[in-house]
Structure formats: C-alpha cells, structure tokens
C-alpha cells in the first residue's frame, strides 16, 4: 500500500472496523499514519480497538440507521473536513434454510438492512466529505457470493449481489467527481463470523492488504484467493461455477 503523501495526513472512515476484515484494515491504515475513524455496533470491541491502536477514533453506529450514520458523518466532519477513503465493510451473514426455519419469528431482511442499505447510507452521508478530498476512494466490501450465491445463505448472497450492482452504478456516477469505487469480493475469510466453517480461509490481514492497495490504485474489483477465477468460470462453465459455489 502506498504511503500517505509527506506532510499530508489522510483520513479514512471504516464501518465494521472493530473486528474481522474491517479491524485488519483499520490496523493497516493506522500503521501507515492515516487518521482513522472506525465505527461498529459493539461498544466493548470498539473500546478494545481504541486501546490496541491509540489514536484511532471510534464511534458506536448502526449503519442500517440513516440518522445514526448522519450523526456519525457530522462528528467525523467536525474533526476531519475531508475523507480520502471510505470503507463500507459493516454487515453480517446468517445461514437461513427457508424450508426448515421458523420464518414467522425470523427477521428475514436484517442482512439487506445491514449489508446493502448500510452501504447506501454510509456512502450518501459521507459523500460531502469525499467530494472535499483531492482524490477520494470508496471501498465496498461485497463477496464472491455476490457473483454466485451460496445455498446456505440466500439472503446474504442477495445482499452482496445488490452491492455488486451498486458498485458498478456508483463507479460510473462518481467518475466525473474524481471518486473511485472499488469492490472487494473475498472468499471465506478467517473471522469470528466464520469460526464454524471448516473449509479453507484467507486471513483478514491478507485480504485487507490486497483490498486497500486495490482501492488506493483505483482498481474496479479486488478478488482475493479463489474468487479471482470465478468470473472466468462463470463465463465458460456457468452451471459448474454455480454448483461449486453453492456448496461452499
């Protein structure tokens, strides 16, 4: 990852910054000398983050709540008038089997709110700060499941497919403003959310490094690990690709 320009301290905002990929990004940016604002929903995890990385500014914020995101953006603007990098990372994954779950008591749209609506809220409320930067970047954390869905996580997969589409549209809209939009499509990553998963996993630090380098170089997509082969496989053998991903 390139280092901040000498004498110019850059500002990053990371949602879901207290664990997993988000925390790895916060740590890497902090080590590079960025001013980092991290938000999350877990107060204890944010307190731990602040102790581990002195100088990182933390805030409790549920990105699915537009007014909460607006307040967070206002607080950030009071300290950092411009935002050079916005990382939309907050979200969650649940395994929902529509044929066996008690759907009457299940909040079926939770992932759509946190994963998709959360990204929309974050980008909308931080757009003024992004427009104030000399060259701004947005990094949207999607998933390989946004290209081909996992049977075990239908709503999560749908939310990430929406982010894939959103990334493409916003990339075209923001290009005249000098704001790049990079989509991260990781495979299964070793985070607390995937602790029960027995298959191969990439480390959060490895994925964070690739993603940040891609975003700061204005790459359209970053596809770590096995996901780098997925677009090609979907073109030449779409049915096979879908079957493989469906089982992961």
pLDDT tens figures, 48-101: 999 999 999 999 999 999 999 999 999 999 999 999 999 999 998 999 999 987
To the nearest whole percent, how much of the chain has pLDDT over 90?
A: 83
Q: With beta carbons less than 8 A apart as the criterion, state whether 94 and 156 touch.
A: yes
Euclidean distance between CA atoms 212 and 75, whole angstroms: 24
Residue of 167, 156, 191 lying closest to 16 (CA atoms): 191
83 near 11, Cβ under 8 Å? yes
pLDDT on residue 4: 43
- Nearest Cα neighbor of 137 from 102, 95, 170 is 170
Lookup: tokens for 120: 């929309």
In percent, how much of the chain has pLDDT > 70? 92
Q: What is the pLDDT of residue 248?
A: 85
| pLDDT of amino acid 188 | 83
- Report whether 121 contacts 194 (CB < 8 A): no
pLDDT over 90 at 6, yes or no:
no
In a domain, residue 157? The reply is: yes
Within a domain: residue 139?
yes
Let me know if residue 6 belongs to a domain. Answer: no
Cα separation values, 59 from 51, 106, 196, Å: 14, 28, 29
DSSP annotation of 117 reads I
Q: Average pLDDT in the 87-116 region?
A: 92
d(CA 191, CA 209): 15
Please report whether residue 42 resides in a domain: yes
97 belongs to a structural domain: yes
Comparison of pLDDT for 52 and 196, the residue scoring more: 52
- Give the chain's mean pLDDT: 93
- Mean pLDDT of all residues in 121-145: 98
pLDDT of residue 14: 99
156 part of the active site? yes
- The predicted structure's pLDDT at residue 197: 61
Number of Cβ atoms within 10 Å of the Cβ of 222:
23
Residue 139 contacts residue 186 (beta carbons within 8 Å):
no
The single residue listed with the structure tokens 């090609």 is: 232
- Look at the block and give the residue holding tokens 């990372």: 89
The catalytic position among 34, 126, 145, 156 is 156
Check pLDDT > 90 for residue 3: no
How many independent structural domains does the chain possess? 1
> Is residue 143 situated within a structural domain?
yes
Q: Which residue, among 126, 20, 107, 105, has the nearest Cα to 63 in the 3D structure?
A: 126
Q: Give the pLDDT confidence of 207-244 residue by residue, as tens digits.
A: 999 999 999 999 999 999 999 999 999 999 999 999 99
Nearest alpha-carbon partner for 217 in 2, 16, 73, 59: 2
CATH number of the domain at 16, please.
3.40.50.720
Asked if 163 and 140 count as a contact pair (C-beta separation under 8 A), the reply is: yes
Q: Residue 214: inside a domain, yes or no?
A: yes
- The domain containing residue 137 runs over which residues? 11-246
Residue 139 vs residue 95, higher pLDDT: 139
């Amino acid at each position: 990852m390139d280092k901040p320009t000498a004498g110019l301290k850059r500002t990053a905002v990371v949602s879901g910054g207290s664990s997993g990929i988000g925390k790895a990004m916060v740590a890497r940016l902090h080590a590079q000398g960025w001013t980092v604002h991290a938000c999350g929903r877990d107060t204890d995890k944010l307190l731990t983050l602040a102790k581990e990385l002195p100088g990182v500014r933390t805030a409790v914020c549920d990105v699915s709540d537009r007014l909460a995101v607006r307040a967070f953006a206002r607080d950030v603007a009071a300290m950092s008038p411009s935002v050079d990098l916005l990382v939309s990372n907050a979200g969650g994954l649940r395994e929902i089997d529509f044929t066996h779950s008690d759907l009457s008591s299940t909040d079926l749209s939770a992932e759509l709110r946190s994963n998709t609506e959360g990204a929309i809220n974050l980008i909308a409320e931080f757009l003024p700060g992004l427009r104030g930067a000399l060259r701004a970047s947005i990094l949207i954390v999607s998933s390989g499941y946004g290209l081909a869905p996992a049977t075990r996580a239908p709503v999560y997969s749908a939310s990430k497919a929406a982010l894939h589409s959103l990334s493409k549209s916003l990339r075209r809209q923001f290009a005249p403003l000098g704001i790049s939009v990079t989509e991260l499509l990781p495979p299964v990553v070793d985070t607390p959310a995937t602790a029960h998963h027995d298959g191969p996993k990439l480390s959060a630090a490895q994925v964070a490094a690739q993603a940040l380098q891609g975003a700061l170089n204005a790459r359209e997509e970053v596809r770590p690990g096995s996901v780098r082969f997925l677009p090609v496989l979907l073109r030449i053998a779409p049915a096979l690709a879908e079957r493989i991903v469906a089982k992961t």
